[in-house]
Each structure stands twice: as structure tokens, then as C-alpha cells.
Amino acid sequence: MTKGEVTQLHLINVGASLFHLQGYKHTSLSQILNAAKVTKGSFYFHFEDKQAFGLAVLNQQIDWFKESSRLHLNNSDLSPLEKIETFYRSNVVFFQKNDFKYGCLLGNFSQEMSTLSTEFAHKIAMAFDEMVALVSDVICEGILMGEFNAIEDIDLFANFFINSWEGALVRMKSVKDESSLVNWFTMIKQLLFIT
């Protein structure tokens, strides 16, 4: 990695953390520069403006989220149910470690940015679709292996899986504990084992 790439990644990481906690709009450029200890000149060398920076943060978060989800949902050592369970448990651990202050950046951005920027909305919509595809594969595998009951419309189910997960995270942020996530996993298991 070049020195420039290190600075760029550092800015993105600091931005992601601030956006996660405070939201995109509430985070000013000077706050990012202060937290990252980077000059304005250096920022504008790497990013055209705050929106371009926001898109870079969103892209990196989507990549990170897909990567960490694949780690569980594509792990061929696990059964389909175990894949879903480790996805769920690793997320609970992450949110617990951060006192339930973080939600899903994708969900946060969707709430905050979708009405303001078509580019953000489009990117978020695509990322959701990719998550749905990842879940569809696991469900499909589970049905074929006989671990899950036959689910008629896998696409319908996988979309509901992701949407209800996002909803559990919204609720989590006001309650500040894992109860809505536990609720989600209990219900998803019910859906997987009954038809």
C-alpha cells in the first residue's frame, strides 16, 4: 500500500465510524478531518467532495459487510442452519461490543440518504439485492439437503429475511439490547422449519 492509499483508507475508516454513530449529514467535513488528523488539502486530493467521500465509505462498508457475511453464509464447513446461526451470532457480538449504538450502515444510509441522492439509493438497493442472493443460496442448499422444510418462494423468503433483519436493527437502536435480534432469529428458525 502506498502512503496515499493508507491515508485514503484511514479517512474512509474514520468516516464510516462517524457516519455509523451520527449519520452522514450530521457529520461535518471538519469533524472528519479532526478525528482523522488529516488536512483539508489531503482530503481533497483523495476525494472530490463530501458526497464522493460518502460514496467511497458506502462502497467500502458494502464490501466489508458482504465479505464478513460471506465468511459465514458461504462457509462450506457449516450446515445451512449453522451458516445462518453464525451470521446472526457474530452480528450480536459486534453490536453488543458497541453497546448497541451502531445499526446497519446500509440501513442507516437507506433511511437517511435514499431521498436525498439517487446515486446512494441505487447503490444501497443493489447491495440489498446482493445480500438477498447470498441468503437465497443458503436457503436453497438447506432445502436440497432436507435441513429446512420446502419453502415455495425462496426469493420472497430471502427478501423477508433481509428486510426483517433490518427492522430488528432499527428496533435494537431504541431499546439498546439484543432482544429484537433474538426475536428475529427465533422467528426465522420457525419459518425455516415450518411450511
Q: Please state the closest distance from residue 140 (CB atom) to a copy of itself, in A.
A: 18
| Nearer residue to a copy of itself within complex by CB, 79 or 160 | 160
* CB contact burial 108-140 (16+ within 10 A = b; e otherwise): bbbebbeeebeebeebbeebbeebbebbbebbe
Q: Which of 104, 134, 103, 106 is nearest to 120 (CA)?
A: 106
From 45-53, 86-94, 110-118, 135-143, span contacting a copy of itself (CB under 8 A): 110-118
Binding to a copy of itself (CB under 8 A) within 22-81 occurs at 22-23, 25-26
Q: Please state the closest distance from residue 175 (CB atom) to a copy of itself, in A.
A: 5
| Nearer residue to a copy of itself within complex by CB, 88 or 157 | 157
- Terminal alpha carbon distance of the chain: 51
Binding to a copy of itself (CB under 8 A) within 6-25 occurs at 21-23, 25
| Nearer residue to a copy of itself within complex by CB, 36 or 132 | 132
Q: Does 95 bind a copy of itself (CB under 8 A)?
A: no
Cell 426475536 found at: 183
Q: Does 175 bind a copy of itself (CB under 8 A)?
A: yes
Output the DSSP codes for 16-74.
HHHHHHH-TTTS-HHHHHHHHT--HHHHHHH-SSHHHHHHHHHHHHHHHHHHHHHHHHT
Cell 454513530 found at: 21
| Nearer residue to a copy of itself within complex by CB, 38 or 57 | 57
Q: Which of 35, 121, 137, 147 binds a copy of itself (CB under 8 A)?
A: 121
Lookup: cell for 65:
459487510
